[in-house]
Amino acid sequence: MLIYNTTFHCEKSCYDEFVAWMRTQYIPSAMQHKGVAEPRMARIMAQDENDGISISVQFTTTSLDTLSAWYEVCGAKLVEQLESKFQQRVVGFSTIMQQIEL
């Protein structure tokens, strides 16, 4: 099992709008295309949030090939939509993690 994590950093002024957009647009759109599952969103608790607020959005996926196919069909479009809507007020980076069983 792989975890596809994107950490977003948003300006405080658009935090509520960003979270609402993620709930109503980004995550539902991502889930319409098979390849990712089990969405999660979490605020990253930082001692100093003067520069903005960080949010982690995660999905699970079964393989790198599945994730790559999902990104080509859906993910790249979502990035374009996010950049168009929030411009430089929200930036992010993605990581792929392999789950380790306990």
Question: What phi, psi does 70 have (nearest 5°)?
Answer: -60, -45
Q: What is residue 48's predicted lDDT score, i.e. its pLDDT?
A: 73
- Nearest Cα neighbor of 1 from 44, 46, 63 is 63
The structural domain count of the chain equals 1
pLDDT at 47 > cutoff 80: no
Are 70 and 6 in contact by the 8 Å Cβ rule? The answer is no
CATH number at residue 77: 3.30.70.100
pLDDT at 51 > cutoff 90: no
Round the average pLDDT of the chain to a whole number and report it: 94
Q: What is residue 79's predicted lDDT score, i.e. its pLDDT?
A: 93
Segment 42-48 shows an average pLDDT of 86
pLDDT at 20 > cutoff 90: yes
Domain extent, residue 7, equals 2-98
Report CA Rg, the chain: 14
